[in-house]
Structure 1
C-alpha cells in the first residue's frame, strides 16, 4: 500500500486479501510448502480463516442487534455495507461501536497482508502522539514515546480494539468541533 492508504476501506482490504493473498504462495507470509509426495493446499488456510472469522464476527454482531437483517451477502467484502444498512437505526453509542469494529477489521486486514506500517498512522490512545509500532509477538501496538510509559518505565501497549475505539472517538470529536 502506498500514500493513498486512507483510501483503503476494510471492504477493499478484504477484497484484496481474497484476490491476492488467498492464493497459494502469494503475499508476504508464505506457509510451508508441501512435500512432493503430498498435494499442495489450493489456498492459504491462514488467510481463509482470517476472512471467515471477520465475516462471521460481522454477521454475529449484526444479527445480535438486528435479528431480522436477512441473509448476509455472498461476497465477503459486502458484509460491511450490509451491516451498516441493517444497523442504521441504532443509537449513537452502538453505531460508534459498529464503526470501531469495522475500523479494527481494516487494521486486521492490513496486518494480515503484512502491512504493519498501518499502525504507524494511528495516534496513541494514551498520549496522542504518532509513536506506535506493531509488535507481532505481542499482537499489540507499542508506544515508543518515553512519556507514555507506566510507572515502571515500561512502554504502554494497545490492542487493535483500543486503537479503533480511540480513532472513532477522535473522528467524532473532530466532526463535532468542525460544526
Structure 2
C-alpha cells in the first residue's frame, strides 16, 4: 500500500473514531446509583442522599478532548496552508479538510500532518477505552509486538524482557513517538517500493 493510500486510510480511521467519540461518548454520564449513608444523629440504619446539583448534560472531559483535537488540527493546517479556507463545523470533517488543504505542502509538512492525525486516532481510541490499538504497533526500539498501554503513565510500555532502558527499566513510548514511528515507517516502505 502506498504512503498516500495509508495516509488516506489513517485519516478516515481517525475521522471515524472522532465521529464515534463525539456521538457515543459525549452523552450525559449515567446517574450514579442512589447512595446510602449511616446517619449518626438519628441512629437510622441507612438514609438516602441526593446530589447537590444535576449532572452536566454531556461528558465534559470528552468534550474538552474533542475541542483540543480539532483546535490542534486547525492551527497546524492554517500554519502550513494559510489559504486553506474556513474549517468545517463538524469535528470529524476537519481531518479530510486538513489533508486536502495541505496536499501540495512539502513532504515534511505532510508527514507532520499525518503524524498529528495518526496520534489523535490513537488518542480517540484510548479515550473510548480501546487501548488494544497500542498492541498493533511494534516497539520502536526492538521491533517486537509487545507494547501495552499504561494508562497511569499515559505511555506504551514494551514488555519484551531484553528491551530495556539504560537503567534496566522497560522502554516506554508516548503516543506522539508511536505515531512518528508509524508514519515514518510507512513513508520509508513506500519509498523503497518505488
Same fold (TM over 0.5): yes
Secondary structure of 2:149 counterpart: strand
Q: State the match for 1:56 in structure 2.
A: 71
Q: Report the Cα distance in structure 2 between the residues aligned to 1:60 and 1:121, rounded to whole angstroms.
A: 29
How many angstroms does 1:151 deviate by?
Answer: 2.4
Secondary structure of 1:74 counterpart: coil
Residue 14 of structure 2 is aligned with which of 10, 20, 38? 10
Q: State the match for 1:146 in structure 2.
A: 161
Which runs of structure 2 are paired with 1:67-146 in the superposition (5 Å)?
Answer: 67-146=82-161
Unaligned runs of 5+ in 2: 1-9, 35-49
Q: Which has the higher contact order (CA 8 A, sep 6+)?
A: 2
Change (3 A) 1:114 1:8: farther
Change (3 A) 1:41 1:167: same
Q: State the match for 1:3 in structure 2.
A: none
Change (3 A) 1:31 1:97: farther
Change (3 A) 1:168 1:80: same
TM-score, normalised to structure 1, is 0.88
Q: Report the Cα distance in structure 2 between the residues aligned to 1:7 and 1:168, rounded to whole angstroms.
A: 12
TM-score, normalised to structure 2, is 0.81
Larger strand share, 1 or 2: 2
Cα RMSD (Å): 2.2
Q: Render the CA deviation track for 1:136-168: whole Å, top value 9, x for unaligned.
A: 111111111122102221111101010000001
